[in-house]
Structure 1
Amino acid sequence: MKFALITGASKGLGAEIAKRMLAENIGIITISRTENTELQAIATEKGHLYQHISCSLSDVEQAHAAFSEAATMLFGKRPELVYLINNAGTIEPIETVGRLDAQFVEDSIQINLTAPVLLTNLFISEANRHNTPIHIINISSGAGERPIQGWSIYCSTKAALNMFTQTAAMEQRSAGHPHKIIAFSPGVMDTDMQVTIRSSSAEAFHDVDTFQQYKETGALRSPYIVANALMDKLLEGTIDSGKIYHINELL
């Protein structure tokens, strides 16, 4: 059987990916601060593995413990394939350099970059030890490919995640391993992150009016559409390891 670990699956894109995984008979483990009880109900109805691990990814000790628990549980089931979806992320701090809050900076780097790097490292190690292929999807952003005023930390962490993805994929190819790792830029979606963005001050984020207009004009895609576009591509089995996919390519 196939299994998946999904971070940040309590709502938004992560929740929709998790629902599709269950619909495709893929057992899931989720890691987030809060649990999505709908996922538990779906899994129970279908008789699939579902386990939630409560964890704040900004807490280093909690994150390490959660990652180890998830890896032990998944690879102990001798799966035919494991999906790792590094979806959890934070847009904060939205502020210009010189006015950044130190704790927000540290939390953002831990959630957006350190956590997916450590999870990827652990899961590739375990996958090699158990001779299990693994497909890793790092949820990135267009912000990782261009500077956006007020988003210096978010842009930087996503750019670093993209480079990590490309480098790790190159290493796996060189080693002759079957693992695949990609990044996926989902575009602007109607999520809580957009609420945070729209509530920013114009002083901190010059483009706040543009993002408010996205909502007013219905330009935000639903997480359901984005998640299913990604899942369709994954289930095709044709992903190009090391590539940074963008939602417009998949729709």
Structure 2
Amino acid sequence: MSDTIAVITGASRGIGAALARGLLDPGVKLITLARRDDAELAAAAKAAGAELEQIKVDLSDLAGADTAARHVAALLAPGAKRYLLVNNAGTVHPVAAAAALTDGPAIAQAFNLNVTAVMLLTAHFVQAVAGFDAVRRVMNISSGAGRNPTAGWGTYCATKAALDMYTRVLNQEQGAGGVRAVSMAPGIVDTDMQGTIRASDPGHFPALSKFQDFKASGALAQPADVAGRLIAYLGRDDFGATEIDDIRNYK
């Protein structure tokens, strides 16, 4: 029986990939959701003595997200000491001024991935682990964008603000004895998303030069470092004491 069963979305790159590798230990069953399988992760899991289940899915497709969520729930067998869900997958698109956000399908796709898929996965996770005598935790990877407005990021800011509020509602419903959730901002991290941000049209994203400077000045944190701090936080006794948080508060 696994000591820890951990579920990570967006596990094929960036913070998600680093989290997946950081959690590979004997006694861990790791379930990853991503658009592609990761052969290197599979090899690393075998070498570490960890169990790995990779689910290939596009979480912006709600039918696929629902099927994946039900698959995950079926894998959450009783008997482990810890059950962890890290909702990490997300997108910054579409980037445009609020007056130019007229592509309904693109906006809907962002909400599907950043919010609706999180709600589906979390609902099935909570149902599956209800009543388990174990640590049960959900970490939603949010952003400072959900707490501070940024021109050109109307969709991204709105989805992350929604994620923060959803986390608060979940905690209110679950109470002290239920699943505990945190909406955690990871800071500014050197991921593919940052590369996408730096490639934005300055006409749609006025803060472009600031983000270019983050990269040029070496201000971006490395995914492995951030993942290490997130994993450490997942193990803290005071997990969730602050439900809307920033990992930079924990050195």
Range into which the TM-score falls when normalised by the shorter chain: over 0.9
Task: Tell me the CA shift for residue 129 of structure 1.
Answer: 5.4
Task: For 2:114 and 2:148, locate their aligned partners in 1 and report how far apart those are by CA, in whole Å.
Answer: 17
Task: Tell me the CA shift for residue 104 of structure 1.
Answer: 1.4
Unaligned runs of 5+ in 1: none
Task: For 2:107 and 2:161, locate their aligned partners in 1 and report how far apart those are by CA, in whole Å.
Answer: 15
Within-5 A mapping of 1:45-56: 45-56=47-58
Task: For 2:53 and 2:89, locate their aligned partners in 1 and report how far apart those are by CA, in whole Å.
Answer: 17
Task: For 2:181 and 2:27, locate their aligned partners in 1 and report how far apart those are by CA, in whole Å.
Answer: 22
Task: Tell me the CA shift for residue 118 of structure 1.
Answer: 1.3
Q: Deviations over 1:18-66 (max 9, x none)?
A: 1111137422010010122222111111222101110001111111111
8 Å Cα contact 1:180/1:241 also seen in 2: no
Partner SS state of residue 14, structure 1:
helix
Partner SS state of residue 30, structure 2:
strand
The answer to which structure has the higher helix fraction is: 1
Q: Which residue number in structure 1 is paired with residue 179 of structure 2?
A: 179
8 Å Cα contact 1:165/1:242 also seen in 2: no
The 1:38/1:152 distance shift into structure 2, 3 A limit, reads same
CA RMSD of aligned residues (A): 1.5
TM-score under structure 2 normalisation?
0.94
TM-score under structure 1 normalisation?
0.94
Within-5 A mapping of 1:128-143: 128=130, 130=132, 132-143=134-145
The 1:24/1:211 distance shift into structure 2, 3 A limit, reads farther
Q: Which residue number in structure 2 is paired with residue 246 of structure 1?
A: 246
Residue identity over aligned pairs, in percent, reads 35
Task: For 1:196 and 1:126, locate their aligned partners in 2 and report how far apart those are by CA, in whole Å.
Answer: 36
The 1:92/1:24 distance shift into structure 2, 3 A limit, reads farther
Unaligned runs of 5+ in 2: none
Q: Which residue number in structure 1 is paired with residue 82 of structure 2?
A: 81
